[in-house]
């Protein structure tokens, strides 16, 4: 698969955020595939074949941490970047311990997302943007 065909799964329950993230991923020359819930994503995981996942932390039913735990059993090498609109105490650390490759705060900039994905491609340390102040 060429670099331009790389599939990025977007898992977020907010339709406006999903659309914005799809546009952002397209602007980076990747193919976005969006899911409105963690359950939908997990059902379609084998067919979607993503190389990376942008995973919202705050969702109903299964939150990002629940999905991370499920993914570790199914596809432990799949790169997951958790995204969150709230920088709550301990969430970032819990996600990283559960196997997230990165953690970014919303709203995402093109530069921060690009750096996070490049970091995965270059096999660098986990990506974690500075905390909001």
Domain-embedded: residue 47: yes
Q: For the whole model, what pTM was predicted?
A: 0.86
- Mean pLDDT value of segment 70-84: 94
Half-sphere exposure of 51 (CA within 13 A, CB side): 15
Please write the tens of the pLDDT for every residue from 4-48. Answer: 478 999 999 999 999 999 999 999 999 999 999 999 999 999 999
31 bridge partner residues: 7
Structural domain count of the chain: 1
> Is 60 exceeded by the pLDDT of residue 80?
yes
Domain-embedded: residue 133: no
Q: What CATH number did the domain enclosing 103 receive?
A: 3.40.50.2300
Nearest to 53 by CA among 25, 95, 81: 81
Domain-embedded: residue 45: yes
Domain-embedded: residue 31: yes
Domain span at 72: 3-128
Please write the tens of the pLDDT for every residue from 81-132. Answer: 999 988 778 899 999 999 999 999 999 999 999 999 988 865 444 444 444 4
């Amino acid at each position: 698969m060429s670099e331009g065909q790389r599939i990025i799964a977007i898992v977020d329950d907010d339709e406006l955020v999903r659309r914005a993230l799809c546009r952002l991923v397209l602007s980076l020359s990747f193919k976005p595939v969006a899911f409105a819930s963690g359950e939908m994503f997990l059902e379609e995981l084998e067919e979607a074949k993503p190389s990376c996942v942008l995973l919202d932390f705050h969702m109903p039913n299964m939150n990002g941490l629940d999905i991370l735990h499920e993914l570790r059993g199914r596809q432990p090498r799949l790169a997951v970047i958790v995204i969150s609109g709230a920088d709550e105490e301990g969430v970032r650390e819990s996600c990283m311990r559960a196997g997230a490759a990165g953690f970014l705060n919303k709203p995402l900039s093109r530069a921060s997302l690009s750096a996070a994905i490049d970091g995965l491609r270059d096999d660098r340390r986990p990506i974690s943007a500075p905390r909001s102040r």
